[in-house]
C-alpha cells in the first residue's frame, strides 16, 4: 500500500493539505504527517497536530509538501529528507508555495515546475535553474511533481492515482469526492475519461467505468444497457443528459485521444488507429479532421 508523507510547515494552507489527503485517503493509501514540532498553526488559524519522527518511505511512496503563507525557515532535515527520497527513486511533490521547499532542496534545478500564479515570478527568481511553467495545474518532471496551488493539489493527487491505479480509478475517487476532475498535464489520453465525470448519475458512471476499461473493444449499446440494467433508450437518454455525448461518441473520444497520444509519440496513423480500436484509419482521419487536427 502506497505511503504518502505530508511534510508540514508552519502557516500551512488547509486546502493544500486536506485536498490531496482526501484524495489519497479515498484511494486507500496510507498517510503520515510530520513537522518540526508537535503542532503547527495553519494559515487559516486551525492548529494541526503532526509527528516529529519521519517514517521510512520506500521508492514507491510519495513525499508531499503543502504550501504555506509567508516566509518560513525550512529545516535542514526536511530538505535532506526530500533529497534522500528522490535520490532513492521516490517521488516528491508540492502544492502551491511548497515548491519552495523542493527548490531549496535542489530538486527543481533543470526541471519544469509550477506554483500558484501569484508566486510564479518569485519562484523563478529564487531558483534560476528551474523552468517555471505558467498557467498549468501541475507539472511532472523526473519524479518531481508540482501543482499550482490550493484546489490544484486535488488535480495533482488525482493524477497520481490515475498514473498508478488507472484513470477509471481516479474517476471513481473524484466521483466519491464530488469534484470535477480536471486534467491538463502532459498525458492528454486520460482527459476525456475525467472531463465527462462532472455529474452524479451512478448509472452513467457505471457505464463509463466499463467503457473506460475497454474502449478499444467493440461495445454495442445492447451490452452497455444490459450491464447498467436499463433499456437502450433509457441509457442513451441518461448518458447524453449527463455527459453531452452518446455512449458511442464517448467511446470515440477516448479512442481519438489515445490515438493522438500515440501519434504524438511517433506512431503512424494506421498503427495508432489499430491500437485505439478503430477498424481502419479512415474513421480516425475523419475524427481528426472534425476536431481540427491535420
Residue 236 has pLDDT above 90, yes or no: yes
CA neighbor of 73 nearest in space, from 145, 11, 148: 11
Q: 103 with 127: CB under 8 angstroms?
A: yes
pLDDT, tens only, 65-117: 999 999 999 999 999 999 999 999 999 999 999 999 999 999 999 999 999 98
Which of 14-23, 155-164, 167-176: highest mean pLDDT? 14-23
Q: In this model, does residue 191 exceed pLDDT 70?
A: no
Predicted confidence (pLDDT) per residue in 3-57, tens digit: 999 999 999 999 999 999 999 999 999 999 999 999 999 999 999 999 999 999 9
The rounded distance, in Å, linking the Cα atoms of 176 and 180 is 11
Contact 88, 121 (CB under 8 A): no
pLDDT at residue 184 is higher than 50: no
Q: Sketch out the chain's domains with CATH numbers.
A: 3-165 (3.40.50.880), 199-294 (1.10.10.60)
- DSSP output for 102-128: HHHTTTTTTSEE---TTTHHHHHHH-T
Answer yes or no: is pLDDT of 186 > 70.
no
- Mean of pLDDT values over 210-224: 94
Question: Residue 113: beta bridge partners?
Answer: 132
Please determine, for residue 263, whether its predicted confidence score (pLDDT) is greater than 90. Answer: no
Q: Which of 46-50, 159-163, 179-183 has the lowest mean pLDDT?
A: 179-183
- The confidence score (pLDDT) of residue 249 equals 95
Task: Name the pLDDT band for 185 (thresholds 50, 70, 90).
Answer: very low
Within 8 A by CB and 6+ apart from 70, the residues are: 11
Q: Are 259 and 248 in contact (CB under 8 A)?
A: no
**All three cell numbers of 245:** 455525448
Residue 73 burial (CB count, 10 A): 7
Please, where are the H alpha helices in the chain?
14-26, 76-87, 99-104, 120-126, 152-165, 167-177, 191-195, 202-214, 221-228, 232-243, 247-264, 269-276, 281-290
pLDDT band at 187 (very low <50, low <70, confident <90, very high): very low
Mean pLDDT value of segment 130-142: 88
pLDDT at 222: 97
* Cβ–Cβ under 8 Å, residues 19 and 170: no
Q: What percent of the chain has pLDDT over 70?
A: 94
Rounded CA-CA distance 101/79 in Å is 7
- pLDDT the model gives residue 169: 86
- Binned at pLDDT 50, 70 and 90, residue 294 comes out as low
Instruction: Report whether pLDDT(197) > 90.
Output: no
Q: Give the DSSP H or E segment for 91.
A: strand 91-95
Is the pLDDT score of 264 beyond 80? no
Write out pLDDT tens, residues 120-133: 999 999 999 999 99
Amino acid 181: pLDDT? 56
The overall average pLDDT reported for the chain is: 91
Amino acid at each position: 500500500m502506497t505511503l504518502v508523507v505530508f511534510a508540514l510547515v508552519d502557516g500551512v494552507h488547509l486546502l493544500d493539505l486536506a485536498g490531496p489527503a482526501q484524495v489519497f485517503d479515498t484511494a486507500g493509501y496510507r498517510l503520515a504527517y510530520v513537522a518540526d514540532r508537535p503542532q503547527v498553526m495553519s494559515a487559516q488559524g486551525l492548529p494541526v497536530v503532526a509527528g516529529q519522527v519521519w517514517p521510512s518511505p520506500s521508492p514507491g511512496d510519495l513525499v508531499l509538501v503543502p504550501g504555506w503563507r509567508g516566509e518560513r525557515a525550512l529545516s535542514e532535515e526536511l530538505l535532506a529528507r526530500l533529497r534522500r527520497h528522490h535520490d532513492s527513486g521516490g517521488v516528491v511533490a508540492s502544492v502551491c508555495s511548497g515548491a519552495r521547499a523542493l527548490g531549496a532542496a535542489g530538486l527543481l534545478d533543470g526541471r519544469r515546475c509550477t506554483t500558484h500564479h501569484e508566486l510564479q515570478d518569485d519562484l523563478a527568481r529564487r531558483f534560476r535553474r528551474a523552468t517555471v511553467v505558467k498557467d498549468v495545474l501541475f507539472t511532472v518532471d523526473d519524479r518531481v511533481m508540482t501543482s499550482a496551488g490550493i484546489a490544484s493539489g486535488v488535480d495533482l493527487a488525482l493524477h497520481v492515482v490515475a498514473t498508478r491505479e488507472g484513470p477509471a480509478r481516479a474517476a471513481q475517487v473524484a466521483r466519491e469526492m464530488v469534484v470535477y476532475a480536471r486534467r491538463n498535464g502532459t498525458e492528454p489520453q486520460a482527459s476525456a475519461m475525467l472531463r465527462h465525470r462532472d455529474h452524479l448519475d451512478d448509472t452513467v458512471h457505471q457505464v463509463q467505468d466499463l467503457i473506460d476499461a475497454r474502449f478499444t473493444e467493440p461495445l454495442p449499446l445492447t451490452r452497455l444497457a444490459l450491464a447498467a440494467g436499463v433499456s437502450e433508450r433509457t441509457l442513451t437518454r441518461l448518458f447524453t443528459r449527463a455527459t453531452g455525448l452518446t455512449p458511442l461518441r464517448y467511446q470515440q473520444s477516448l479512442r481519438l485521444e489515445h490515438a493522438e497520444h500515440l501519434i504524438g509519440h511517433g506512431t503512424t496513423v494506421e498503427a495508432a488507429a489499430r491500437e485505439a480500436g478503430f477498424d481502419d484509419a479512415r474513421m480516425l482521419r475523419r475524427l481528426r479532421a472534425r476536431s481540427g487536427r491535420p
